[in-house]
Amino acid sequence: MHFDIAFIGFGTVGRGMAELLLEKKSILEKLYNITWRVVAISDLRYGSIINDNGIDLKEALSLVESNKDFKFLNGKRGLSSIEVIKESNSNLIVEVTWTNLIDGEPGYSHVKTALNLGKNVITTNKGPIALYYKELKELANRKNAQLRYKGTVMSGTPSFNIFEGPLAGCNVESIRGILNGTTNFILTEMEKGLDYEQALKEAQRLGYAEADPTMDVEGLDATAKLVILINTIFDMDIKLSDIRRKGITSIRINDIKEALNMGKRIKLIAKAEKIDNKILAEVSPQYIPISDPLANIMGVMNAITFKTDCLGDVTIVGPGAGKRATGYALISDMIAISNKLSKD
């Protein structure tokens, strides 16, 4: 299948995908029969550009590397992201603007606009998916467009998408995961002897935590991911507020030491269980026995354990963030769309 791609957002994640598109160009064509062209890029910082004959992606990347805007590229300039989605001759919108868990904007409007036009959307933006999954999924179905969002949970590491292929036909009975690398890093550093404030500073110094770390340390980020997992896997329509949530800000070094003395580790666990068609879900710090695979996930790594009817517990461990790992999530979504559409 051929993709005419419009990037809405061209920050770290968008550029991560762009670099992989270039690097994997021949593999995509040879193994998956995928060809692509970038026909538009829109970014708050670098401006917007449309060129239906194709934008030189290498050039665009090198402009951004040297902090220059897109006025050096040929094409139509100055349009808003919404206009770019509408006016570009694109069949794949890559929505990679920032996450907003209050109203999902601007991602929500981007995704809705694209789907309304029957354009396929891939995104790593948790906002629109955590807040409006059901609505957007139905819109996509109605408009015969594909909507994929692998990168919203554990970046490119397999998570809910494993049930499309390798675990097809299995029922999920429960989900337990370490879905936020920042808090797991802080807890890991605290085990080494830093107190909470020091560990948070270290996370900020390394770029794992934002200046305002609320989203991570209060468990909001993990909660958004859990909502996405639940709605996707159980085909539900639950909301952020349906999930009991407790962050890690009140954890002290002593708690961590005490846990270790009992053969346990404190981890921020996102979990959900389906009982009689009801979902019991929460995000909170939990004492996990050292023998549990999740107890041994250290630093910024993510992990998830699916309890399934066919296999019991299956655990997947991998990166949950990073330019390349999240860029790859979008590549995997693109391949999945191509497989799906070449099939129908």
Binding of a copy of itself by 314 (CB under 8 A): yes
Binding of a copy of itself by 174 (CB under 8 A): no
The minimum distance between CB 318 and a copy of itself, in angstroms, equals 4
Which of 67, 169, 254, 275 forms a contact with a copy of itself (CB under 8 A)?
A: 169
- In b/e form, how buried is each residue of 31-55, taking b as 16+ CB within 10 angstroms? ebebebbbbbbbbeebbbbbbeeeb
The minimum distance between CB 341 and a copy of itself, in angstroms, equals 10
**Could you give the C-alpha distances from 270 to 108, 175, 221, 228, in angstroms and in order?**
24, 8, 10, 12
Helix (H) or strand (E) holding 245: strand 244-245
Structure tokens given for 1: 């299948």
Binding of a copy of itself by 335 (CB under 8 A): yes
Question: Is there a catalytic annotation at residue 225?
Answer: yes
- In b/e form, how buried is each residue of 216-243, taking b as 16+ CB within 10 angstroms? bbbbbbbbbbbbbbbbbbbebebeeeeb
Q: Taking the alpha carbons of 213, 16, 59, 8 in that order, is the dihedral positive or negative?
A: negative
The nearer residue to a copy of itself, 107 or 151, going by C-beta atoms, is 151
Choosing from 112, 119, 150, 225, the catalytic residue is 225
Report 19-78 residues binding a copy of itself (CB under 8 A). 20, 24, 27-28, 31-32
Helix/strand number for the chain, H first, E second = 12, 13
Q: Are strands 278-289 and 264-275 parallel, antiparallel or unpaired?
A: antiparallel
Q: Is 227 annotated as a binding residue?
A: no
Whether 283 and 223 have beta carbons less than 8 Å apart is answered as yes
Q: How many residues bind a copy of itself (CB under 8 A)?
A: 47
CA distance 273 to 287: 18
The nearer residue to a copy of itself, 262 or 311, going by C-beta atoms, is 311
116 three-class SS? helix
The minimum distance between CB 302 and a copy of itself, in angstroms, equals 11
The interface mask with a copy of itself, positions 146-165, x = CB under 8 A, is ----x----xxxx--xx-xx
Binding of a copy of itself by 323 (CB under 8 A): no
Binding of a copy of itself by 331 (CB under 8 A): yes
Structure tokens given for 265: 């580790």
The minimum distance between CB 2 and a copy of itself, in angstroms, equals 17
Q: Is 210 annotated as a binding residue?
A: yes
Q: Which residues define the annotated binding site for L-homoserine?
A: 210
Active centre residues (catalytic): 225
The residues binding a copy of itself (CB under 8 A) are 20, 24, 27-28, 31-32, 150, 155-158, 161-162, 164-170, 290-291, 293, 295-298, 310-319, 324-325, 328, 331-332, 335-336, 339, 342-343
Q: Which residues define the annotated binding site?
A: 9-14, 126, 210
